[in-house]
């Protein structure tokens, strides 16, 4: 075999090919291209995805893709930006209600799992592809991730404040906890997507149970020592 068509048994990518329609406004065409690109990048991987297939799935000719998005690199970057923004927006929307820190975290997690479950290709692009294709791209998602980690960090800090236990948790420690929590969420997102029997709500509940209880213990000053 020449090379592996990664991510798909026979090279067939699920989902409909956009019917070739003439004369659409540029903004719409661009979104169609990004839709196609996210799908292909997600299923094939950045390198294995070919501009040919993306153009075909988008229902346009290749030169048009180049006209609008300049290069494979920029196209990929555009995908990352759009999907990162969408994910952050989804989480933000979920949390928008406010309330105590735990409820906010709960809401954020549910929104996160719901969004990643609904757009699996986008999640793969962000989590698996972008982070493994070297600098220009990894940096792009790192920004989004930082945003989310910062948000979680603030929630943990707030929770500590609510419990009047701030001094017990060093700032550095809080950062580590947020990282671990986000990492666990990311890991569960992949797990939940792969296993149809686990809903977004279930995944969020599992993690929440795990995390909140642990945080509570820590905030009480009880910690595990070797």
Partner DNA sequence: GATGAATGAGAATTCATTCAT
Partner DNA sequence: GATGAATGAATTCTCATTCAT
Site residues, its own copies (CB under 8 A)? 1-9, 44-48, 71-73, 102-103, 106, 124, 128-129, 131-137, 173, 176-177, 179-184, 186-188, 190-191, 198, 202-203, 205-218, 222-224, 226
Q: Identify whether the C-beta of residue 100 lies closer than 8 Å to the C-beta of residue 56.
A: no
Handedness of CA 120, 122, 125, 130 (dihedral sign): negative
Q: Identify whether the C-beta of residue 42 lies closer than 8 Å to the C-beta of residue 129.
A: yes
Query: What are the backbone angles phi and psi of residue 68, rounded to the nearest 5°?
Result: -85, -35
Q: Is 18 or 157 the residue whose CB approaches DNA more closely?
A: 18
Q: Is 31 or 217 the residue whose CB approaches its own copies more closely?
A: 217
Region binding DNA by CB under 7 A among candidate stretches 19-27, 155-163, 177-185, 218-226: 19-27
Helices 72-95 and 135-162: crossing angle, nearest 10°? 10
Distance CA 39, CA 27 (A): 19
Region binding DNA by CB under 7 A among candidate stretches 67-75, 93-101, 114-122, 184-192: 67-75
Distance CA 188, CA 182 (A): 10
How many residues in the shown chain lie near DNA by CB under 7 A?
26
Select the binding partner of residue 23 from its own copies, DNA, none (C-beta < 5 to 8 A, by kind): DNA
By the rule CB under 7 A, 139 interacts with DNA: no
CB of 61 to DNA, least distance (A): 3
User: Which H helix or E strand runs over 23?
Assistant: none
What residues line the site for DNA (CB under 7 A)?
Answer: 1-3, 20, 22-26, 29, 48-52, 60-64, 66-67, 70-73
């Amino acid at each position: 075999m020449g090379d592996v068509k990664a991510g798909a048994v026979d090279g067939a990518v699920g989902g409909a090919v956009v019917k070739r329609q003439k004369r659409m406004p540029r903004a719409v065409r661009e979104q169609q291209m990004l839709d196609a690109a996210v799908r292909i990048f997600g299923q094939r991987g950045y390198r294995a995805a070919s501009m040919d297939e993306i153009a075909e799935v988008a229902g346009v000719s290749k030169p048009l893709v180049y006209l609008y998005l300049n290069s494979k690199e920029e196209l990929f970057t555009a995908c990352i930006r759009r999907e990162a923004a969408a994910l952050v927006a989804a989480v933000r929307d979920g949390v928008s209600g406010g309330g105590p820190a735990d409820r906010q975290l709960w809401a954020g997690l549910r929104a996160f799992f719901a969004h990643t479950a609904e757009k699996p290709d986008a999640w793969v692009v962000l989590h698996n592809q972008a982070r493994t294709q070297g600098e220009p791209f990894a940096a792009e998602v790192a920004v989004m991730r930082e945003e989310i980690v910062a948000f979680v960090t603030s929630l943990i800090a707030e929770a500590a404040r609510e419990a009047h236990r701030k001094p017990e948790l060093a700032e550095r420690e809080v950062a580590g906890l947020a990282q671990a929590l986000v990492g666990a969420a990311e890991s569960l997102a992949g797990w939940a997507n792969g296993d149809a029997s686990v809903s977004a709500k279930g995944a969020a509940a599992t993690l929440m149970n795990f995390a909140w209880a642990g945080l509570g213990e820590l905030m009480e000053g009880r910690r595990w020592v070797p």
